[in-house]
Chains A and B, each alone.
Chain A
Amino acid sequence: MELIDQRTKAIMEGCKERAWEAGLRFAPETLEYIVTNRDLLELTPKHMIPTLYDYWVHDVEVHREKGRYELYPNNPYETVINTRPAISFYNDNNPDWLNVMIFYHVLAHIDFFQNNLHFQNTWGEDFAGKALSDKRAVAMLRSEKGRWVDYVIEFSRGIDNLVGYYKELGGNGAEDRSKPTRLDFYFDHFLQEVQPVPVHEYLREIERYNACLRQHGELADSFFFAEVLTRHPELDSLYEKHLQHHGAQPADLLDYLQRHSPFLQREENRWMKTVMEIVRTTSLFFQPQIRTKIMNEGWASYWHEKLFLADERISGHEVGFARIHALVTSMPKVGVNPYALGMRLFHYVEELADKGKLSLEYEQIASAHERQRYDARTGRGRETLLDVRRHYNDFLFLNKFIDQDFVDRHKLFVVGRRLNPRKGVWELFVQSRRAEDYKKMLLDSLYHPPVVEVDESLMDDGCLYLRHRFEGKPLVREFIGNTMLGISFLWGGPVKLETTEWIQDRSGSPSPYAMPSEQGREPVPRRVLYTMEDRRLSRTLL
């Protein structure tokens, strides 16, 4: 792995100037490395972060990648990682004109990383550097604790998709909650939970406070509490404690376990929290990337096309460019190519905005003919694009802009699959060309981790109670056992998971030989409770 040579770097700098002029905004410092195929194979499992902590699953994947490479020797043209400065990797045998195209692609990625608001929590840090120090912390712990470090990594990674990305993005609600005053604490918690008093006494206290307020005005608090403290000298320390507890709420399960797991609070297990936090922050770092895949690739493809064709340094290579560009951004007959779809959607949005079609006025036009001809010549396409790249993620992007016109223009459809028993093959067919169906198919394919919450009200018996919020899809059943095993290890006790599963009622079926379709029974969603206790999993219907 080495830096690109000075001549190539000069090409990159030229690209930066042109991209900057075209409206992209990114930090001027970047690092470009040439990597070998072997490097790439070994970096892939680590999400291309060379300094990511070592973990055996990565090694397994490296072995698999090597096998894959033997059969299918191909590699990506480039990879960008979202750090400060932004780092990108290249194969070393590209001609200059191809490098120009790739550099524009990379610069658009960097622009996206550094401007899209979903990435804002990654702006302040150099992730490669942070990962390096994490890697060393893990290595150091491993030398002391051996394989148990790997177990903790494994179990933490088992729930690292549940990280509270949006909570963290919103500052975990810290600024929304003002600190409770001592007065709030006294009336809301102390008199109701810590030292419960009958209602009439409670009312008497309120009355007493109001009297103080009338009599002493601004000094009411101190007079009031002077009296309270004679009765409850412990009030102040309880209040302090309450404030600490009241701070930011746990953002996710990993955070919750770190704070409240009795097992992790033990002196000899404290080190595990370090490992868990490393896994958690690493996962948080990658969250925005997963959620902007289509936009990010579309954005980069949009710009490499636009900027490459405008770059006078490479004239004469348009055909080579066209070939590679078409390879990258072609719409497959079956399947979805995020580069292609994203790029076309950005083009479409630009056109809509240029014609002023993203307006209420346009929405209100009913005539199809007029809608087609509508052109307000606002010329705000570019500006709108930059806005979209700042504020949207994949869900918003697809949900807002995919409409029937777009689907028709690019002849998109949902592919269905059915069995043809006569020929013994699966037939692929055009299932639907409706925009709603296409959009639904896309949205269903987006990354969406389940919502699993801790319910403290059901945890009297020392058991961690998790509730999965059912959103139409059950959890993958085969994975539940081992995931819960890990949580149970980190919690140091039994764990329960309440979730929903589709259950097919077989009880009344006429014959075991009957085809499932003959039974005519739709599976019904039922709440089930999984319990992991002493490394054994049990399941009951609720």
Chain B
Amino acid sequence: MDRYDDWTLLQMGSLPRNAHIHGLSSVEDLLERDRQREQDGFPRKIRIGRLVKPSRGGKERVILVPTTVEEKFIHDTRPFQEEGGAGGGSGDGQEGEVIGEEPIHGSEGSGQGGAGQGEGAEHEIEASAYDLGRILSEQFQLPNLQSKGTKRTLRRIAYELTDRHQGSGQILDKKATLRRLVATNIGLGRVRQDAEIDPTELLMGPDDKVYRILSLEPSLEAQALVFFVRDYSGSMSGRPTEVVVGQHVLIYSWLVYQYQRRVETRFILHDTEAREVPDFYTYYNSTIAGGTRVASAYRLVNEIVEHDNLARDYNIYVFHGTDGDDWDSDGSQTLPELDKMLTYANRVGVTVAHGHGGNGYRSRVEEYMGRAKLAERFPDRFRLDTIEEGAGEERLVEGIRQLLS
């Protein structure tokens, strides 16, 4: 009798053991399958999402998980406007009474790879960002950035245990010691070619011990400094911010991977005034209602670079996210600052996120930057990308490809 027919298995009262486990494929397999889809002529489906658990004290845990959406014909129940009904509730309170508040960015809740999430726990976001960067590089096959301008690499001094020293040192190099020991004893005639070696018979000289010692190692390594600049004026609230910050998270992750974690970041927010904030969390969560002066931010970046003399030692990247609005409508203040920035930056990437897709509509920033022919004058250094505010993660990655290529 076939022991594995359905009848027997079910009668034995146990479902086939681990029937549901054997098929589980690893994330790498799944990504491989996703690559295969493209060759078969179907769009990719797997995205890398982030689960975030917020907690008090600003320490959030971030976990990277693959996600996918099964597309179907389903009713679109998203409200037209952001305002509207949010579900049911129970308890006291008059109609119209406010019963709670939620932060503008928190509404995505945990789960799903939504827009970028804040971080505070440095190491954990670092680790996750590195993974995300790795997966981004592999999955989306972003172009690897050329290490431009090697003259700007930094002579780093590192101490490494690579040099050998006889007689004293930090760590005994056993292999080298043995080799030397045998050589000495061959010289002494205590070891014969065909006879077996008896280690107890070997004599050891004081110089036979080989140690590794700490030594100065100069190394040439590229370092990256990334300025994330974001417009946080009133007009940015809601989707444009999510788009910009979501993209900046991805860029950050990718650079962390690309530069093997040797990335330094500076975060700058601006409305009419620009200010530097200490961490990504503040960068992500700040909102304010104010006007917009792009020039202020660029000026601040230039000042920082100049003051700290950063251009000599770093590959500098500036990523700026805005909705394209600027009080400086003809760019007369912004463009000189931008020109100056482009003299030292490896790449300036401007993302314009606005809700007026198509129709040939161009925001002020796009307009004056277009007029200044920046893309022609600095073909290697300047990129401008316009994203509709409803863009999904795929579009964001496409945008990164634009900004980094």
Residue ranges of A at the interface with B (Cβ–Cβ < 8 Å): 1-3, 31, 39, 42-43, 46, 50-52, 54, 56-57, 59-60, 62-64, 66-68, 70-72, 126, 128-129, 132-133, 135, 147, 150-151, 154, 157-162, 331-336, 341, 410-433, 438, 441-442, 444-445, 448-450, 452, 468, 471, 473-483, 485, 502, 506, 512-513, 516, 523, 535
Contact = CB atoms under 8 A, between A and B. Distances in A.
B23 interface: yes
Nearest to B50: A67
A208 B98 CA distance: 81
B359 to A, nearest CB: 7
Contacts of A71: 51-53, 61, 63, 110
B89 interface: yes
A332 to B, nearest CB: 7
Contact of B87 (A39, A135, A336, A430): A336
Contacts of A482: 43, 71
Nearest to B52: A71
B83 A63 contact: no
Closest 7 CB pairs between A and B?
Answer: A67-B65, A479-B71, A54-B23, A331-B90, A473-B75, A417-B86, A336-B88
Interface of B: 6, 9-10, 13-17, 19-21, 23-25, 27, 30, 33, 36, 40-43, 46, 49, 51-53, 61, 63-77, 80, 82-104, 107, 110-111, 234, 237, 287-289, 325, 355-356, 359, 361, 392
Nearest to A55: B23
State the main secondary structure of chain B at its contact with A: loop
Contacts of A516: 355
Given A51-B19, A477-B76, A485-B42, A430 B65 contact: no
A334 B10 CA distance: 45
Contacts of A449: 73-75
Given A59-B25, A71-B63, A421-B289, A450 B75 contact: yes
11 contacts: A51-B15, A51-B16, A56-B30, A158-B70, A413-B90, A416-B83, A421-B289, A424-B289, A450-B74, A474-B76, A482-B71
Contact of A421 (B65, B76, B91, B237): B237
A158 B72 CA distance: 5
A145 to B, nearest CB: 13
A159 B102 CA distance: 36
A72 B93 contact: no
User: Which of B68, B76, B80, B359 has the most chain A CB atoms closer than 10 A to its own CB?
Assistant: B76
A147 B73 contact: no
A331 B64 CA distance: 33
A428 B98 contact: yes
A394 B323 CA distance: 45
Nearest to A407: B90
A438 B88 contact: yes
B98 A427 contact: yes
B354 to A, nearest CB: 9
A471 B73 CA distance: 13
Nearest to A438: B88
A72 B90 contact: no
A18 to B, nearest CB: 25
A445 B74 contact: no
B74 A60 contact: no
Contacts, number: 259
B80 A502 contact: yes
Contact of B13 (A31, A60, A452, A476): A31
B87 A441 contact: yes
B290 to A, nearest CB: 12
Given A50-B20, A428-B99, A479 B72 contact: yes
Given A57-B70, A444-B77, A67 B63 contact: yes
Contact of A425 (B86, B87, B101, B361): B101
A60 B30 contact: yes
B110 A333 contact: no
A70 B359 CA distance: 46
A63 B66 contact: yes
B19 A411 contact: no
Contact of A417 (B85, B92, B95): B85
Contacts of A450: 73-75
User: Which of B30, B52, B66, B89 has the most chain A CB atoms closer than 10 A to its own CB?
Assistant: B89
A11 to B, nearest CB: 19
Given A419-B82, A419-B83, A442-B88, A479 B97 contact: no
A351 B14 CA distance: 44
B75 A475 contact: yes
B88 A441 contact: yes
B89 A468 contact: no
Nearest to B113: A64
A518 to B, nearest CB: 14
Contacts of A154: 70
Given A51-B19, A419-B82, A431-B85, A448 B98 contact: no
Nearest to B34: A56
Given A132-B6, A413-B88, A428-B86, 17 more contacts: A3-B14, A51-B15, A60-B46, A64-B51, A72-B53, A157-B70, A335-B87, A414-B88, A415-B86, A421-B237, A421-B289, A423-B101, A427-B100, A441-B85, A450-B75, A485-B42, A485-B43
A430 B94 contact: yes
B73 A161 contact: yes
Contacts of B27: 63
B166 to A, nearest CB: 51
A154 to B, nearest CB: 8
A338 B333 CA distance: 58
Given A335-B88, A506-B359, A476 B99 contact: no
A334 B76 contact: no
B86 A64 contact: no
Contact of B100 (A424, A428, A473): A428
Contacts of A157: 70, 72
Given A417-B85, A431-B95, A468-B73, A425 B104 contact: yes
Contacts of A336: 87-88
Contact of A418 (B20, B33, B83, B234): B83
B87 A415 contact: yes
Contact of B20 (A46, A426, A452, A468): A46
